[in-house]
Amino acid sequence: MAQGILEKKVADAGLQDQITVDSAGTSDYHIGDPPDLRAVEKSRAYDIDISHYRGRQFEKDDFDEFDRIFAMDFSNYENILRLSRDTADSQKVEMILNLNNPNSNMSVPDPYYGGEEGFENVYQLLDAACDRLMEQIQS
Residue 92 backbone dihedrals phi, psi, to 5 degrees: -80, -15
Domains of the chain with CATH codes: 2-134 (3.40.50.2300)
CA distance 83 to 58: 9
Q: What does the pLDDT read at residue 113?
A: 86
Q: What does the pLDDT read at residue 114?
A: 84
Q: How far is CA 20 from the centre of its chain?
A: 12
CB atoms within 10 A of CB 49: 12
> Cβ distance 119 to 111 under 8 Å?
yes
Show the low-confidence residues of the chain (pLDDT under 50): none
Q: What does the pLDDT read at residue 64?
A: 98
pTM of the model: 0.95
Q: What does the pLDDT read at residue 115?
A: 85
In Å, what is the CA distance from 45 to each residue of 63, 120, 123?
Answer: 33, 10, 11
Q: What does the pLDDT read at residue 101?
A: 95
Q: What does the pLDDT read at residue 82?
A: 97
